[in-house]
A and B are shown apart, each in its own frame.
Chain A
Amino acid sequence: MPRSLLFVSAAVVALSSTPAQQPLTPPLPAVDVDAAFAAALPPRAESRWTLIPWRHSLTDALAEAKALQRPVYLYVNDGDVGSARC
């Protein structure tokens, strides 16, 4: 076979072996949703304040304190304390 034909044949074989085209849009990254969900929650050591039986009415709490003869522990902060937007 002449060298030119060998070159063309080799070129044809090479072209047919090229990798498939890359997709037009990159694939979505793999995200471990459940692991990321757990990581976004505060650790238990920082979450026990949710276990306190908070009253959200100082007026009613003072009446309760008088009935029970217990001191009120009053925690004040600006903003919406329930959602920690404060």
Chain B
Amino acid sequence: MRAGLLSDARIVALLRTLFVPVHVSALNTPHCLHDPRDEALLRSFVGKDTDRFEGGEREAFVLPDGTMQRVFLSLNGHDVGAFGSTAHQYTAAGRRDDAATRLFRHHGGVALRSVHGEMPEAWRTLWDDDHPDVLAVRHEPARWPEPAAGTQAFRVFVRNSYRMYDDLHGCQLAALPAATAAALGAALAAPTGRAELPRVAFVALAQAMVPRGMVDTLLATDSITGTLTLTATSRDGALVHGVVAGDYALRPRDKAEVGKRLNAAVLFRSSGRIAGHFTWDGATQTFRTLRGVTHDVDFAWLPEHGGDRDDFTPRHQVAFEWLAGDPRVR
């Protein structure tokens, strides 16, 4: 994700206090919309004074009466239809620069004045780095996705470079059927103490491991190879401790696999090994911990025209952990 201004603690505090923040997919990927009603609604906003909302980052303030204000692109540093970027979206440092907040500050102020007639006091005070609400955001840990109550999943973190982008990242849950963990545990409890992740679960894990930078990458199943094995190394009553080991290879062959927006789709190859550790609790039939990381990774982007000499060194890191949904959360 190129979060930029959205990871500015002041903007987080402002969005919590003065706005209703909404994050939706664009009209070229309507299958990614969470609310099917939103497709028609977003199309109703399409116009010469707004945008087509068909790819790329777009931001806008919408007044309570449904009026959409000027559409802008913080990471590019200009309103839609304008040119001349004043923001530097390709590097993490550039995305955290004050230039990335300039348009939010301008258009947010216009929207608030339209609603309230005058600027709310919070709009002025929350731009102060030392405001208690801003400090609280700065110290709050990130909220990564959690499995729903009664379900289990791998939570997969990815961090990679993408050609002219130095550092992109993503986090995704790869759901696991309850029977998968139970079967792994049964195999670990057996004298051999060895369990292999079923192919279906491995593919789900691998789909979440894809490098970020393109639109909704979904690899063909036969573009994914590898295995993941859990091996017990010691037992302590009902607990089984052990190591995770494996390998993976992601080798898409068709641009349609790597991105839904073909003009931003680049083939890649990534392969390497996986290492980790786990503790299985036979009494609760769950993993107390299971963590894995990739290492010895061979990764490259494969652009059609050979890439650009200013591209950042290819890098692809993955870490994953097994999680069970909190049964207390409804």
List chain A positions with a Cβ less than 8 A from chain B.
Answer: 28-29, 31, 33-34, 36-37, 39-62, 64-66, 68-86
Contacts and interface: CB of A to CB of B under 8 A. Distances in A.
Contacts of A45: 7, 96
A81 B61 contact: no
A58 to B, nearest CB: 5
Given A50-B144, A51-B12, A57-B38, A76 B64 contact: no
Contacts of B183: none
Interface string B16-43: 1011111111101100101101100110
Contacts of B57: 75-77
Contacts of B3: 46-49
Contacts of B245: 28
B112 interface: yes
A34 B255 CA distance: 34
Contacts of B169: 41-42, 46, 84
B216 A57 contact: no
A68 B69 CA distance: 18
B92 interface: yes
A73 B215 contact: no
Interface in B102-153: 108, 111-112, 114-116, 137-138, 140-145
B194 interface: no
Interface stretch (B197-205, B220-228, B298-306, B316-324): B316-324
A48 B24 contact: no
B172 interface: yes
Interface residues of B, number: 92
Interface of B: 1, 3, 6-9, 12, 15-16, 18-26, 28-29, 32, 34-35, 37-38, 41-42, 53-66, 68-69, 92, 95-96, 108, 111-112, 114-116, 137-138, 140-145, 157-159, 167-173, 208, 210, 212, 214-217, 245, 260-261, 275-277, 291-293, 295-296, 317-319, 321
Contacts of A81: 23-25, 32
A85 B29 CA distance: 11
A47 B145 CA distance: 12
B172 A72 contact: no
A81 B56 CA distance: 11
B293 A52 contact: no
B2 to A, nearest CB: 9
A46 to B, nearest CB: 5
A10 B6 CA distance: 76
Nearest to A43: B92
Contacts, number: 260
A53 B6 CA distance: 12
A65 B68 CA distance: 13
Given A74-B61, A76-B59, A40 B145 contact: no
8 closest A-B pairs by CB: A84-B170, A40-B319, A57-B35, A83-B172, A47-B142, A49-B6, A36-B293, A79-B216
B31 to A, nearest CB: 9
A37 B6 contact: no
A47 B168 CA distance: 11
A80 B218 CA distance: 11
15 contacts: A33-B293, A37-B319, A39-B317, A48-B137, A55-B21, A57-B22, A59-B37, A65-B64, A70-B64, A71-B18, A74-B24, A75-B6, A76-B58, A82-B23, A84-B172
A50 B140 CA distance: 10
Contact of A28 (B9, B217, B275): B275
Contacts of A47: 3, 7, 142
Contact of A71 (B7, B20, B212): B20
B27 to A, nearest CB: 8
A62 B66 contact: yes
Given A28-B275, A66-B64, A78-B260, A73 B21 contact: yes
